[in-house]
Every structure is written in structure tokens, then in C-alpha cells.
Chains A and B, each alone.
Chain A
Amino acid sequence: MSEFLLLRHRNQGEEDIADLDAYIRLGGFQAFKKVVTEMSSKQVIDLVKNSGLRGRGGAGFPTGMKWSFLADRFPRYVVANSDESEPGTFKDREILERNPFQFLEGLMICAYAAQANVAYNYCRGEFWMLAQELHGKVAQLHERGLLGEGIFGSDFALQIHHHLGAGAYICGEESALLESIEGKLGQPRMKPPFPADRGLYQQPTVVNNTETLANVPLIIERGADWYRSIGVAKSCGPKIMCLSGHAKNPGNYEVPLGITFRELIFGLAGGIRADRGLKAILPSGASAPILPATDAVLDTPLTYEDVPRVGSQLGSASIILLDETVDVSWAALKTTRFFKHESCGKCTPCREGTYWMDRLLERINNGRGDPADANLLGEVAKQISGKCLCPLGDFSVSAVVSGLELFRDDFVQHVRSGNQTAEKLTG
């Protein structure tokens, strides 16, 4: 892939495509115009289906198929999930900062396809300043007649509103996000029914990740075949990989799906900080199993179907690197603390289980653990999984279970050794 399609698509030079004039001048909103003036909503949906675009928020669900599930009732809503809160994830933020109009254009095309006249962009509350700017950009689109009534002289009308979250990771789960917009506690709903049937205000709704939507104008512009030519068969298109932790050069890397861990980490990103050895990889933030830095793993392509073969998930591709100095039980305590803090509390296993695992890991890391604590930790984790109301519960045990399995010594070494890796843990 010779160009960056998501982060700097219309600007391979120095232009600031976050400026509307520049964006338009470089061909922006032609896709939206084509959609509104020449295509039916069904045609748009079919095109996105054929492109093979999969959700970039973590689930990897085929986007076009999701759009086609909308129930035959109106009004409908489309919602952009810009609640980016997974540890190690910062790709949606960069899109919103550097290429906001491509994202907005994608949201607008999605709204047209869904025959929705109102779209919401749910931004995490910490993106407060970013949201202000986006609010201004939406106003500019209104001024240009790209939003509002009678767009391009058609009878399609569209408004985009921003809704600011207020610090709850669980609101990134689509049904909890909808509850949050409705002004209720941001807790996940029972499913079924699904948002395509009963979503925002119980109306048919599509919720898509920021990055997913940023792909959409590309597909309209250049077609499904072109899109499919990037990446590999079942995982096509460009993907932003967030590299963090002990990476030498942390940051967002836009690559075609299908490159391997090795190519990304050591090829593009220059390897590990201070050239230390790589011990483990968390490929999807805190939510997926830890992978050991074996050759088998490093040569695994970054696709939705290949990463599971070595025991984890591609998810949001928030790749956190742990070098050889890292104590995995400490890392597990960090991820567990995260889930304990973010658990909505609705269901027993997650609410009580994350709290319990946190206590156990705290004890283990503070050298006050019992020899049996590592075993107990594993059992508690098993007890949580498969029983929760939403995926967060299952996510919360991933690092713990895989950590115990692959790096058990890290957990048992602290027992009554007085070893205090976590003595300075803050919060």
C-alpha cells in the first residue's frame, strides 16, 4: 500500500485535510455526492457488503451485513462509536484529529444507506476539546449545504450531533452506548433485541466504529474490488495498528491487513525500546489473551482469522508490547484493575469477580500471596467466563488466564517472597 488511506488519504503532501476547503479541494465529499445523487440506499449497502469491510472497533463484524439488518421501521439512527477507551488504543483519536472529514463523510454515507436523518457521534468525554472542534466542523458542513435539508437538491436531510461520554469504557459496548445517549446509566442491554431492530430510542439503529466509517468513502470512490485488493481475502482493507508499551517507536501504523507481527513490530516500527528482548504481546489492548513472543506468533499475519489460531484476537489491533523486564502478573494486575474500575456492575460474575481477581493479584504482587493464590486466581477467572451479561466480563479474564498459562512463574514467584513489584501502584 503506497498511500495512507485513513490517516492522510487526501493529503500525501503537507495540506491540512482537517481544513474543509482543503479536504474538498482534494476531492473530498465527491463520494458522498455520488451516493446521494446517483445511488440508492440498497446499492450503497451492497457495495459496502461486497467490499468485505469489517468492523474496526474490535468485533470485526462485516459492516455491510450489519447495515442490511436494519428493521423496516422509521425513524432510524446511525451512531458513530468514538468512545475509544480500550487501553493501548488511540487510532480513532488520530483520525478525528487529522482526517475528521473523511470520518464525517463516512458517517454521512452510512446515514444515507440506513435512510437515517439524524446521526450521533458518541465521543468519550476525555476527547472534550476534540469534540468542540468537531462540533465546529459539523457547523461548517451545514454552511456548505452538505448537511441539513435538501442535500445536493435531493430530499435527503441529515443532521449530525455530538454526544459526549463522561468516562466509562463500557459505553463503548454498543447497547450501553445507546443507553448512555438516552440519558440512562451506560449499562449494556439484554440482547436480543439487537440495535438493528431496537436501538436508539427503540428504533432501528446502526452503530459503527470511527475507523470503520473512515473506510467508507474510500469504498465508494474506488469500488469494492479495489478495496478487496488490499490485505487478504477474509481480512481486507487498510487497518491502523496502535503500537504502545515497550515499542521503540509507539504510535499509529496504517498498514494493509495481513502483515505479520514481525513485519509490523520489527520491520516498520523499529523493534523494542532499548533493543531489549520481546517477552509478550497483548494484541487487542487489555481484552484479548496475551501472546508469547515466539516465532510462531511473530510470523502470524494480523488478520481476524489468523490471530485466533495462535490463541488470541486481533480485535482493535491495540498492540501492547511487553519486554523481558516485565512481570506478567503485574501486567495482569493492571488489566484487572482496569476492568474492575470499568465494570458496570450489572451482573454478578463480572462485578464480584473483577473485584476478587483484583484483590488476589494485589496480594500476589505485594508478596502477601498464598501459594494457592495463583491457582485460586485461575479458578476465579474460569468462574467468571461464559456467565456474564456482556463481553466485558469475558475480556476481563483474558490476560489473567493466558498470563497464568504462559507465564505462571511470574505469578508464583512473589508468594511470600516479600517481592514488591507493585508497591508503588497508584490507584
Chain B
Amino acid sequence: MSLRERYPAEIEAILARYPAGEKRSAVMPLIFMAQREQGFVAGEAIDEIAQLLDISSTQVASIVGYYTLFYANAGGMHRIQICTDLPCALRGADEFAEQVCENMGVKMGETTADGHFTVEAVMCLAACDKAPMFQVQSRNGLRYYERQSADDVNELVKELCASRDGRGETVSE
């Protein structure tokens, strides 16, 4: 099903945020929307967004490629993104990240064999006073987990695997 068929009202609402002749502004919110189902945006979704906004597919793909939170390829169902930037690293984030990787049996940047989790290192998430911390990016959204230990992560992983389809909460814009 196309985005138009699935979220017609939401698309209208998004377009209404911007002036009439500036549909292109809606490209970022629409990419977030398209990313909901599979965690990445490619092919038909890119073409559809391009058509909706009267821009080219290349222009849409360019935006997907530029921003860190947009993905052109599939990853795990949940992306565990650990901040290892300077302030967090000063409070043990590097060691935390290493431990998490070890516990989950992957190298940094890799996805678990069952396809459920990708572990990534990311830049500052504005939670420097609550290090070590990470965010989890899933189909339907993004959540912060702060003041975490490696054991906390193990618990979370179990929780996420157990919940409905392993998908976590459903939140829409």
C-alpha cells in the first residue's frame, strides 16, 4: 500500500504546515513517515514522496542520504544507538558500548543474526549529564534510555523481543 493510501489525513496535515508553493519542505516529515514500516526508505517510497511533492526521486534520495536518522538500507528492527561522544566517553561510554556489543555478540555497527538489533555509535544526544545512555530507533519512533548499565541493556533487549512483534510502542506524529 502506498503512503497516500495508508496515511491520507496525516499527509494533508503535514503539507498544511508549509506555504502552498513550498511542498518540498514536507520531504523530511514524509521520509520519517515512510520509514515507519521497514525502518528504511527506498525504491517505491522514494518515488511516491517525489510525486507527492513535485520533486525528483534523486532529490528525495539525496535527503535520505544526507541525514543520520534516515536509512536507505535495512538494519535491525531496533537500532541501539549509543552516544560515544566526548562528554559521554568521559563517563565510560566507550567501555559501556564495548560491553553491550560483547553481550549482544556483534561488532559495533553490525546487526544481530536474528535481525532484531543493530548496535551503533552515534554523536552527542544532548543527555551528557546522564551518561552512559543510548537511544533506540524503531519502526515507529525514537526513545532515550539514560543512565544505563550493560545489564540494563540486556533487560531492554529481552523486553523488546517479547513485545508485540518485537516492535515496541506505536507512536505516530
Contacts and interface: CB of A to CB of B under 8 A. Distances in A.
Interface of A: 84-90, 92-93, 118, 124-129, 132, 135, 161, 163-169, 180-186, 201, 242-246, 250-252, 282, 286, 318, 320-322, 326, 331, 334-335, 338, 341-342, 424-427
Contacts of A181: 25
23 contacts: A87-B124, A88-B124, A88-B128, A124-B126, A127-B126, A129-B143, A129-B144, A164-B28, A167-B67, A180-B28, A182-B25, A183-B23, A183-B27, A185-B62, A245-B128, A321-B90, A322-B90, A334-B85, A334-B89, A424-B95, A426-B84, A426-B98, A427-B121
B90 A245 contact: yes
B68 A167 contact: yes
A185 B142 contact: no
B22 interface: yes
Given A183-B23, A244-B90, A426-B121, 12 more contacts: A85-B123, A87-B85, A88-B124, A126-B142, A128-B142, A129-B144, A167-B68, A169-B123, A182-B22, A320-B86, A338-B123, A427-B122
A246 B89 CA distance: 10
Nearest to A87: B124
Given A167-B68, A338-B85, A426-B121, A90 B127 contact: yes
Given A166-B31, A242-B128, A426-B97, A183 B87 contact: no
Given A164-B29, A166-B70, A250 B85 contact: no
B94 A89 contact: no
A185 B63 contact: yes
Contacts of A132: 171, 173
B127 to A, nearest CB: 6
Interface residues of B, number: 56
A192 B97 CA distance: 44
Nearest to A90: B126
Interface string B95-108: 10110010000001
Interface of B: 17-19, 22-29, 31-32, 53, 55, 62-63, 66-70, 82, 84-87, 89-91, 94-95, 97-98, 101, 108-109, 120-131, 135, 141-144, 171, 173
A427 B67 contact: no
Contacts of B120: 427
Nearest to A335: B86
A350 to B, nearest CB: 16
By CB atoms of chain A within 10 A, which of B19, B53, B86, B123 has the most?
A: B86
A87 B32 contact: no
B133 to A, nearest CB: 11
A131 to B, nearest CB: 8
A424 B141 CA distance: 30
A86 B144 CA distance: 17
A286 B86 contact: yes
Nearest to A273: B91
B16 to A, nearest CB: 9
Nearest to B17: A161
A427 B85 CA distance: 10
Nearest to A249: B129
B128 A90 contact: yes
B125 A126 contact: yes
Contact of A126 (B18, B101, B126, B171): B126
